[in-house]
Amino acid sequence: MSSPKANLEILPRGVQIALGLGLVALLAFPWVGTDFYTQMVTRMLIMAIFAMSLDLLQGVTGLVSLGHAAYFGLAGYALAFLMPQDAAVSLWWTLPVAVLASALAALIIGFFVVRTHGIYFIMVTMAFAQMVFFLFFDNKILGGSDGLYINFKPSAQVFGFTLFDLENKITFYYVTLVLALLVYVFLRRLLWSPLGRALSGIRINEHRMKAMGFGTFGYKLTAFTIAGGLAGLAGYLWGAQSGFVNPELMGFHMSAHAIMMVILGGMGNFAGAFVGAFTFEYVLHVLKDLPTLQMFGKDINLGKHWQLWMGTFIVLVVIFAPRGLMGLAERFLQKREYPKGNSK
């Protein structure tokens, strides 16, 4: 008998099949989609990595970080600094360096913030992210408010032989897809490891975890660091794909978007974050393209006010699907079995 778990950690068969079909669609997409849409889905995959990294904190450990974009942006900037003006730099060492830079920043900032709880954690993560934001925003050497250009895609040469060419948009798509899947598999595995079990315990009842002898600080700091590193992976890809970085990447809005993606998809199982990122980015695309209407003798550009519609959309999802789209999918795809003899 399957038993319901917190946060849909065990994905029901119906949801698994739906996700499998989604994967097939992703694998086939560049063959049917235009260049524009292939790039858009690449962007969605990158945001999916970012959202999954946040889900490790928000959905699994119960730490709501309002400053997660800082680690996303830092790795993008790392790539921008490492990329010369006139030649492509190697992927093989810049990617690890950028990811480690984000992880290191998360380790240092995490050392201070994971001591706090609840609302204080939210505020302190945001404060640190704002510090990073203004550090880059106000320093001309760091690119200032305009940001920096990344003129080339990182090169994937091994001993003079090019394994794959990231300048090719379809290649970039598949590399991103593989990385997103690796991150998903890694995090799912982590969820069931002793570390993941302890992180779930901390979310549910940290006080009891301490009473049982768990050094919760070390667990939370590890989660914060891993999440920072994975956000860095996403940020690196973002920088490589778009060819520029600016302080907005580390901004408050970016962090808030990631939180919305995780909530939208359903927390704590990573599949939800993945689906949430895709949905959020797609809805964003649709809303920004809304037409301009002639009303009351004025031109009203609906697309310009996309935040208003997005807010409405998120509110509706939270009200009607409190466990996100994954919870909704589960309800439609599988009748849930509850253990017999409920006394409450």
Partner 1 sequence: MTALSTDLLLSAKNLTKHFGGLAAVNDVSIDLFKGQIHAVIGPNGAGKSTLTNLVSGDLTLTSGSIQLNGHDVTGWSAEKISKQGLGRSFQKTNVFLPLSVWDNVRLAAQSRDSQQPWNPLSWFKNTQNAINSIAAQATNMPASEIIKLCKLENRMHAIAGTISHGEQRQLEIAMTLATQPRVLLLDEPLAGMGVAEAERMIELLHTLKKNHAMLLVEHDMDAVFALADKLTVMVNGQVIASDNPSKVRADAKVQAAYLGEEEHV
Instruction: Using the minimum distance from each CB to partner 1, give the nearer residue, 85 or 343.
Output: 343
Instruction: Using the minimum distance from each CB to partner 1, give the nearer residue, 219 or 306.
Output: 219
Q: CB 19 → partner 1: shortest distance, Å?
A: 22
User: In angstroms, rounded to a whole number, what is the distance separating the alpha carbons of residues 309 and 331?
Assistant: 26
Instruction: Determine if 201 is a binding residue for partner 1 (CB under 8 A).
Output: yes
Q: CB 211 → partner 1: shortest distance, Å?
A: 5
Instruction: Using the minimum distance from each CB to partner 1, give the nearer residue, 134 or 192.
Output: 192
Instruction: Using the minimum distance from each CB to partner 1, give the nearer residue, 61 or 255.
Output: 61
Q: CB 7 → partner 1: shortest distance, Å?
A: 8
The residue from 90, 162, 193, 301 that contacts partner 1 (CB under 8 A) is 193
The residue from 140, 298, 335, 344 that contacts partner 1 (CB under 8 A) is 344
Q: CB 39 → partner 1: shortest distance, Å?
A: 33
User: In angstroms, rounded to a whole number, what is the distance separating the alpha carbons of residues 95 and 6?
Assistant: 35
Contacts with partner 1 by CB under 8 A: the residue count is: 41
Closest by CA to 20, choosing from 192, 170, 184, is: 184
Binding window for partner 1 (CB under 8 A); candidates: 113-121, 206-214, 233-241, 247-255: 206-214
Closest by CA to 251, choosing from 131, 337, 121, is: 131
Cβ 148 vs Cβ 238: under 8 Å = no
**Over the range 66-99, which residues count as b (16 or more CB within 10 Å of their CB) and which as e?**
bbbbbbbbbbbbbbbebbeeeebbebeebbebbb
Contacts of residue 339, Cβ cutoff 8 Å, sequence gap at least 6: 1, 3
DSSP state of 321: -
Instruction: Determine if 117 is a binding residue for partner 1 (CB under 8 A).
Output: no
Task: Report residue 146 as tokens.
Answer: 């305009």
DSSP for 32-43, please give it. HS-HHHHHHHHH
Instruction: Determine if 5 is a binding residue for partner 1 (CB under 8 A).
Output: yes
Binding window for partner 1 (CB under 8 A); candidates: 66-74, 227-235, 310-318, 336-344: 336-344
Site string for partner 1, 135-174 (x = CB under 8 A): ----------------------------------------
Instruction: Using the minimum distance from each CB to partner 1, give the nearer residue, 11 or 249.
Output: 11
Q: CB 80 → partner 1: shortest distance, Å?
A: 28
Closest by CA to 82, choosing from 69, 95, 73, is: 95
Helix (H), strand (E) at residue 70: helix 69-82
Binding window for partner 1 (CB under 8 A); candidates: 35-43, 129-137, 170-178, 195-203: 195-203
Cβ 91 vs Cβ 155: under 8 Å = yes
Residue entry with tokens 């970012």: 50
Q: CB 202 → partner 1: shortest distance, Å?
A: 10
Instruction: Determine if 181 is a binding residue for partner 1 (CB under 8 A).
Output: no
Closest by CA to 218, choosing from 124, 118, 119, 107, is: 107
Instruction: Using the minimum distance from each CB to partner 1, give the nearer residue, 224 or 278.
Output: 224
Instruction: Extract the runs of DSSP E, i.e. beta strands, from the chain.
Output: 148-149, 157-158, 161-162, 244-245, 292-295, 298-301
The residue from 19, 89, 181, 195 that contacts partner 1 (CB under 8 A) is 195
Instruction: Using the minimum distance from each CB to partner 1, give the nearer residue, 205 or 307.
Output: 205
Instruction: Using the minimum distance from each CB to partner 1, give the nearer residue, 11 or 126.
Output: 11
Q: What are phi and psi of 59, to 5 degrees?
A: -85, -35
Instruction: Determine if 243 is a binding residue for partner 1 (CB under 8 A).
Output: no
Binding site for partner 1 (CB under 8 A): 1, 3-6, 186, 189-190, 192-198, 200-201, 204-205, 207-216, 218-219, 221-223, 226, 338-339, 341-344
